[in-house]
């Protein structure tokens, strides 16, 4: 009896979650909070540098919720995650 490739493929655990990540200041640009779509358990990515929703690189902080209540938030990430 043959099984299809779809039947033997592992199912995804859950839908991706959004977590907050902090970018670094560059020249006149201040550090901002960004959104990162995480496809792995947050314990595996805490402190990792990941690509943000807007395309920047930022370090994930799983203790900071998204959307973050602070004022220094990336405007592009705020719009893209509405």
CA distances from 2 to 9, 10, 56 (A): 14, 17, 45
> How confident is residue 45, by pLDDT bands cut at 50, 70 and 90?
confident
> How confident is residue 5, by pLDDT bands cut at 50, 70 and 90?
very low
Q: What is the pTM of this model?
A: 0.76
- Domain range list for the chain: 15-80
């Amino acid at each position: 009896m043959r099984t299809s490739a779809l039947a033997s493929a592992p199912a995804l655990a859950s839908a991706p979650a959004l977590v907050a990540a902090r970018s670094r200041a560059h020249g006149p640009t201040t550090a901002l909070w960004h959104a990162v779509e995480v496809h792995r358990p947050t314990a595996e990515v805490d402190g990792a540098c990941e690509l943000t929703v807007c395309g920047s690189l930022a370090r994930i902080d799983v203790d900071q919720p998204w959307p973050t209540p602070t004022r220094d938030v990336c405007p592009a990430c705020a719009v893209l995650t509405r």
